[in-house]
């Protein structure tokens, strides 16, 4: 029998790609999503790719009764991957309570319901944002956590602590915390990808919308940083590579009895790319020019951060494999599909 996994936020960007990889790996997926940042059409994309339609529950994970009912109606869930969260840094500064409520109540509800429903493990989406501006790169999991610079970042730090405290209290669960670097790209089929709402704040959606003529020009936020070309450096990781890591993490929790109850892994490529290098990769991969100008620095930006992913490579047996130009091609194919 297929093992059942609950994917919260499963119609969202990373959730939908992870659902595809879980189904391809032989898991049965139940999705809960409140569709606040996605739509039901994503389920068609998942079905077209995998030939299977995940069970879908429209609902809000901040509501304990909704989740209790979900577990009662879908018995046998063995693991949870929690993507249900708000994720816009700027918005979190404007609406901190929304972020604390959504992100923290969702997590505490899920944790509370795990033992009584026989759920063994939860994979939690954290972020490299917990490291702040690193003292050195690449950065590994032992690096100090820096004070959060936004309510969004703070929810990630607090969530990691909530999980640790709960496990320490003797709760019979396991957790793998994954610290993502910068997820980009789309499924190679162009059937699922990131859905834009309003003006994109993140680099790649803004770049592809500019290339598509939806935005006039891309602004590079600063070229006078202490980096080789002056623009900021990030570790851009393909969303399908990222999704695969969740399957590996889930398998590790469910199948190995001798692993630590809480484990933390960086998910990155180990390679830093500047904003200008990313634009060059896009143009090289697609043959499409991106009109851009150099603008002011963006307040609060980290100058440079990239991952030391060796722990995930060695312990999870997972490695980022995608070539950056392929990733940019997939991001572009998805943008073209959206613009059809």
Cα angle 248, 89, 242; round to 5: 15
**Any idea of the CA torsion for 215, 202, 321, 331, to the nearest 10 degrees?**
-20
- The footprint of ligand UD1 on residues 9-48 (CB under 6 A) is none
Spatial distance between the Cα atoms of 243 and 259, rounded to a whole number of angstroms:
21
The answer to whether 220 contacts ligand UD1 (rule: CB under 6 A) is: yes
Q: Mark residues 52-71: x for contact with ligand UD1 by CB under 6 A, - for none.
A: --------------------
Q: Which stretch binds ligand UD1 (CB under 6 A): 42-50, 91-99, 189-197, 294-302?
A: 294-302
Total Cβ atoms within 10 A of residue 257: 6
Pick the binder of ligand UD1 from 206, 265, 306, 332 (CB under 6 A). 206
Residue 260 Cα distances to 166, 212, 282, angstroms: 14, 47, 41
Pick from 245, 244, 252: which is nearest to 312 by CA? 245
Q: 228-246: buried (b, 16+ CB within 10 Å) or exposed (e) per residue? A: eeebbbbbbbbbbbbbbbb
152 an active-site residue?
A: yes
At its nearest, how many Å lie between ligand UD1 and the CB of residue 69? Answer: 31
At its nearest, how many Å lie between ligand UD1 and the CB of residue 129? Answer: 3
The answer to whether 281 contacts ligand UD1 (rule: CB under 6 A) is: no
The answer to whether 298 contacts ligand UD1 (rule: CB under 6 A) is: yes
Rg (CA), the chain: 19
At its nearest, how many Å lie between ligand UD1 and the CB of residue 119? Answer: 26
Q: What is the DSSP letter of 53?
A: P
In this complex, which beta carbon is closest to ligand UD1, that of residue 70 or of residue 305?
A: 305
Cα angle 31, 248, 309; round to 5: 120
Spatial distance between the Cα atoms of 70 and 7, rounded to a whole number of angstroms:
12
The answer to whether 87 contacts ligand UD1 (rule: CB under 6 A) is: yes
Non-local CB neighbours of 203 within 8 Å, separated by 6+ positions: 182, 184, 234, 275, 278
Pick the binder of ligand UD1 from 100, 188, 221, 311 (CB under 6 A). 221
Number of residues near ligand UD1 (by CB under 6 A): 21
Residue nearest to ligand UD1 (CB): 232
Q: What is the DSSP letter of 55?
A: E
Instruction: Name 263's bridge partners.
Output: 176
In this complex, which beta carbon is closest to ligand UD1, that of residue 56 or of residue 206?
A: 206
Cα Dmax for the chain: 57
At its nearest, how many Å lie between ligand UD1 and the CB of residue 298? Answer: 5
Q: Mark residues 141-180: x for contact with ligand UD1 by CB under 6 A, - for none.
A: ------------x---------------------------
Burial of 74 (0-12, 13-18, 19+ CB in 10 A): middle
The answer to whether 186 contacts ligand UD1 (rule: CB under 6 A) is: no
Pick from 142, 167, 169, 179: which is nearest to 268 by CA? 179
Pick the binder of ligand UD1 from 64, 89, 195, 214 (CB under 6 A). 89
Pick the binder of ligand UD1 from 202, 277, 280, 294 (CB under 6 A). 202
The answer to whether 302 contacts ligand UD1 (rule: CB under 6 A) is: yes
At its nearest, how many Å lie between ligand UD1 and the CB of residue 130? Answer: 9
Structure tokens at 278: 């990313």
Choosing from 13, 27, 99, 152, the catalytic residue is: 152
Residue that the structure tokens 């043959």 belong to: 287
Binding site for ligand UD1 (CB under 6 A): 87, 89, 127, 129, 153, 182, 201-203, 206, 218-221, 232, 234, 275, 298, 300-302
- What residues are annotated to the active site? 152
């Amino acid at each position: 029998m297929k093992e059942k996994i609950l994917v919260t936020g499963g119609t969202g960007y990373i959730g939908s790609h992870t659902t595809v990889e879980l189904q391809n790996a032989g898991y049965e997926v139940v999705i809960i999503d409140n569709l606040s940042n996605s739509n039901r059409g994503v389920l068609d994309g998942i079905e077209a790719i995998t030939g299977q339609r995940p069970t879908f529950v429209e609902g809000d994970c901040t509501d304990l009764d909704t989740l209790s009912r979900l577990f009662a109606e879908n018995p046998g869930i063995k693991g949870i991957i929690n993507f249900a969260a708000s994720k816009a840094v700027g918005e979190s500064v404007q609406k901190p309570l929304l972020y604390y409520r959504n992100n923290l109540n969702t997590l505490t509800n899920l944790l509370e319901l795990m033992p009584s429903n026989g759920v063994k493990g939860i994979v939690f989406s954290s972020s490299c944002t917990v490291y702040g501006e690193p003292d050195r790169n690449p950065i590994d999991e032992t690096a100090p956590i820096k004070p959060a610079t936004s309510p969004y970042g703070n929810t990630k730090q607090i969530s990691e602590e909530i999980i640790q405290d709960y496990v320490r209290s003797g709760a019979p669960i396991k957790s793998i915390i994954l610290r993502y670097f910068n997820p980009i790209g789309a499924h190679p089929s162009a059937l699922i990808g990131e859905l834009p709402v309003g003006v994109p704040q993140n680099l790649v959606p803004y770049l592809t919308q500019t290339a598509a003529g939806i935005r006039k020009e891309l602004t590079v936020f600063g070229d006078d940083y202490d980096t080789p070309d002056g623009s900021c450096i990030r570790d851009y990781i393909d969303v399908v590579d990222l999704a695969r890591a969740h399957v590996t993490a889930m398998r590790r929790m469910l199948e190995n009895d001798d692993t630590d109850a809480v484990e933390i892994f960086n998910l990155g490529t180990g390679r830093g790319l500047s904003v200008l290098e990313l634009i060059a990769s896009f143009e090289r991969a697609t043959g499409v020019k991106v009109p851009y100008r150099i603008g002011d620095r963006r307040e609060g930006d980290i100058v440079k951060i990239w991952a030391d992913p060796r722990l995930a490579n060695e312990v999870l047996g997972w490695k980022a494999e995608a070539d950056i130009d392929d990733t940019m091609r997939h991001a572009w194919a998805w943008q073209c599909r959206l613009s059809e």
